[in-house]
């Protein structure tokens, strides 16, 4: 029995998507969204991920997608092409040492090809494996805020908005995409400006729906994914008011927000998720890359 690892080419993409669909139990709708996003994102490169194949039966037992996130200017003024790891799945019969070797191979191969590697959705197991094979945590992380967390503050701010309805106009959509990091894939991204206490900040978002299964029932939940914030201090100092505005204006139950700052918004409960970046290149970009153009932008 021998295992080989090879790139997923365009003619293989349907096989890869179907394998991942079966492994992760994706819907046809989600599979289609992922397929369309990666086809659009990877126009400039010739591969879409990696397969792990058993040569004894020529079957696929593992796959991971690699999304071309775009190009970023490094601190030494060079350009780095970014590959975002997404949807890593290995069949149960090949987990363990084979899956670890799979991860090690693809990370080394991407680094040899001079890509900067990111991962914004590692599972707890993937987090451990990738951190032992060349990746480490970014300086930015993602915070999850649910509508029902800190309910008293939310209710208090809602009353303030009823008294001062002009605050509903504090958030407005703008067309200035040039404020975002240059040369990253901007598919599905919208940009908004917020004005609080005569101070303004721009932020980039994707509104999407995520599904969650509870007690055998599938729920479809509206989410606002905040990918980048121009002035984080303004957000953190006024987060209770801003999140109330966001919940109402965008009609979402959850806010997923990326922060560089380690400061916390006072009296607001949240859950953290950590991002990964490869050790070889992280110092060239000060330890982080915002998830613009990544799998977090799939609607």
Tell me the residue ranges of DSSP E strands in 10-122: 49-54, 59-73, 79-90, 115-119
What is the arithmetic mean of pLDDT over 8-31?
96
The pLDDT of residue 18: 97
The pLDDT of residue 266: 64
The pLDDT of residue 179: 79
The pLDDT of residue 169: 65
Domain ranges of the chain: 3-137, 142-278
Query: DSSP label at 184?
Result: B
Strand order in the sheet with 135-146: 3-7, 49-54, 59-73, 79-90, 115-119, 271-278, 135-146, 254-259, 217-229, 199-214, 190-196, 171-174
More confident residue, 178 or 134: 134
The pLDDT of residue 98: 94
The strand pair at 190-196 and 199-214 is best described as antiparallel
What are the tens digits of pLDDT across the range 195-239?
A: 987 899 999 999 998 877 777 777 788 999 999 999 999 999 888
What is the arithmetic mean of pLDDT over 274-296?
96
The pLDDT of residue 234: 92
Quickly tell me which residue has 């990964």 as its tokens. 276
For 53, 56, 298, the CA distances from 60, given in Å and listed in that order, are 5, 11, 25
More confident residue, 198 or 155: 198
Is pLDDT at 189 greater than 90 in this prediction?
Answer: yes
More confident residue, 202 or 179: 202
What are the tens digits of pLDDT across the range 64-117?
A: 999 999 999 888 888 999 999 999 999 999 999 999 999 999 999 999 999 999
Report, at the CATH architecture level, how domain 3-137 is classified.
Answer: 3-Layer(aba) Sandwich (3.40)
The residues, ordered by sequence, that sit 6+ positions from 166 with a Cβ below 8 Å of its Cβ are: none
Q: Predicted confidence band at 1 (pLDDT cuts at 50, 70, 90)?
A: low
The residues, ordered by sequence, that sit 6+ positions from 286 with a Cβ below 8 Å of its Cβ are: 75, 139
């Amino acid at each position: 029995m021998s295992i080989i690892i090879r790139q997923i080419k365009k003619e293989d993409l349907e096989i890869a998507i179907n394998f991942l669909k079966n492994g992760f139990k994706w819907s046809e709708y989600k599979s289609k969204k992922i397929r369309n996003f990666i086809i659009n994102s990877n126009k400039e490169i010739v591969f879409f991920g990696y397969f792990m194949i058993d040569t004894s039966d020529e079957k696929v037992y593992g796959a991971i997608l690699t999304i071309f996130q775009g190009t970023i200017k490094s601190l030494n003024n060079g350009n780095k092409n970014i590959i975002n790891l997404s949807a890593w799945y290995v069949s149960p019969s090949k987990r363990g040492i084979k899956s670890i070797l799979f991860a090690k191979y693809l990370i080394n191969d991407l680094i040899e090809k001079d890509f900067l590697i990111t991962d914004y959705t590692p599972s707890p197991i993937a987090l451990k494996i990738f951190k032992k094979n060349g990746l480490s945590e970014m300086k930015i992380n993602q915070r999850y805020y649910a509508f029902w967390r800190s309910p008293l503050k939310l209710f208090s701010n809602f009353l303030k908005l009823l008294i001062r309805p002009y605050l509903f106009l504090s958030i407005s959509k703008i067309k200035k995409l040039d404020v975002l990091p240059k040369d990253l894939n901007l598919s599905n991204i919208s940009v908004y400006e917020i004005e609080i206490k005569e101070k303004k900040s721009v932020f980039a978002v994707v509104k999407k729906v995520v599904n969650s299964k509870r007690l055998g029932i599938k729920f479809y939940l509206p989410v606002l994914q905040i990918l980048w914030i121009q002035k984080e201090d303004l957000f953190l100092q006024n987060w209770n008011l801003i999140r109330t505005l966001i919940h109402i204006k965008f009609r979402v139950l959850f806010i997923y927000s990326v922060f560089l700052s380690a400061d916390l918004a006072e009296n607001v409960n949240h859950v953290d998720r950590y991002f990964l970046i490869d050790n070889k290149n992280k110092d060239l970009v000060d330890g982080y890359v915002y998830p613009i153009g990544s799998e977090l932008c799939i609607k």
